[in-house]
Amino acid sequence: MSVTEMFSYIQGFLSADQDVREDIRKVVQTLEQMAREILTVLQSVHQPSGFKEIPSKCAKARELFSTVRTQIAELKTKFPVEQYYRFHEHWRFVLQRLTFLAAFVVYLESESLVTREEVAQILGIEVVREKGFHLDVEDYLAGVLIMASELSRLAVNSVTAGDYNRPLRISNFINELDSGFRLLNLKNDPLRKRYDGLKYDVKKIEEVVYDLSIRGLAKESESGGDK
């Protein structure tokens, strides 16, 4: 094989690769649009009037997730499944956003931490790599961390809206999450950087709880008094 032949063979490979990436980018763009729409729906829970509407907003968000599922199904057709990590960077960000949104919906509904299996189910994907398009554990954890900062905001806003009990429940939840994350041996990677922000969320929520307690506003303090 001559030098020229070799290079044109490689060139053929590279342009095929670029075509695949182009296709992926297009679908990921629609996914990002969808994620923004869901976020807009959920953002209204921060409004004073929004607290009563939480169940209806969650139902609306869950409806929108069905569109996400079809879009992800389309994404799956764009590349061979065993090359997931070759193109991972393209959808990593949006998958983390979607995990956050799914986790937020589940928290608002049941005040519990979404499992990785639940997220995978909401998004219509798999948990383990062997079965196909899956949710990487680091992406799941990153999504959960985004939710933590959203919850610290929610704690502040729920006080403004006159809901004094919610911050205590959020505080318990975040503390549990924090001790969970402390079990992990994180490397010096993006996930670690994001985790380093968790302590500020914890601190913020603790301040809210403190403010409520010294003013006697937290009536059911037995739920939050143990820390």
Partner 1 sequence: MKKREDAAQDREASSLPSSPVIAAFKVFQQELDTKHDKYERLIKISRDVTIESKRTIFLLHRVTSVPNAEEILNEADAKLDGVRQKIGQIAEELRGEDLHQFHRAFTPGIQEYVEAASFLHYIRHRSLISLEEINARLVFIGTEKGDIRVSADAPPEGAQVLTFQVTPSDYLLGVADLTGELMRMCISSVGNGDIDTPFQLSQFLRQIHDGFSYIGNTGPYEISKKLHTLRQSLGKVEDACYTLRVRGSEIPKHMLADVFSSRTTLMDPEEGVV
Residues from 85 through 104 that contact partner 1 (CB under 8 A): 85-86, 88
Q: Mark 30-69 with x for binding to partner 1 (rule: CB under 8 A) and - for no binding.
A: ----------------------------------------
Residue 126: exposed, middle, or buried by beta-carbon count in 10 A (0-12, 13-18, 19+)? middle
Closer residue to partner 1, CB minimum distance, 77 or 179: 179
* Span near partner 1 by CB under 8 A; candidates 22-30, 48-56, 76-84, 162-170: 76-84
- CA gap 198, 177 in Å, rounded: 9
The token duo for 110 is: 């049941």
Per the annotation, does 150 bind a ligand? yes
Closer residue to partner 1, CB minimum distance, 57 or 194: 194
Using only C-alpha atoms, what is the Rg of the chain?
21
Closer residue to partner 1, CB minimum distance, 55 or 180: 180
Closer residue to partner 1, CB minimum distance, 73 or 128: 128
- CA gap 36, 39 in Å, rounded: 5
Closest C-alpha to 97, from 22, 149, 166, 59 = 149
For residues 35 and 98, the answer to whether their CB atoms sit within 8 Å is yes
Q: What angle do CA 211, 163, 204 make, to 5 degrees?
A: 40
* Span near partner 1 by CB under 8 A; candidates 84-92, 102-110, 156-164, 199-207: 84-92
Residues from 166 through 195 that contact partner 1 (CB under 8 A): 176-177, 179-187
Residues from 107 through 166 that contact partner 1 (CB under 8 A): 113, 115-116, 129, 137-138, 141
Q: What residues contact residue 145 under an 8 Å CB cut-off, 6+ apart?
A: 181, 191, 194, 195, 197, 198
Q: What residues contact residue 179 under an 8 Å CB cut-off, 6+ apart?
A: none
- CA gap 69, 12 in Å, rounded: 33
Closer residue to partner 1, CB minimum distance, 3 or 214: 3
Shortest distance in whole angstroms from residue 195 CB to partner 1: 12
Residues from 14 through 33 that contact partner 1 (CB under 8 A): 14-15, 18
| Contact residues: partner 1, CB under 8 A | 1-4, 6-11, 13-15, 18, 82-86, 88, 113, 115-116, 129, 137-138, 141, 176-177, 179-187
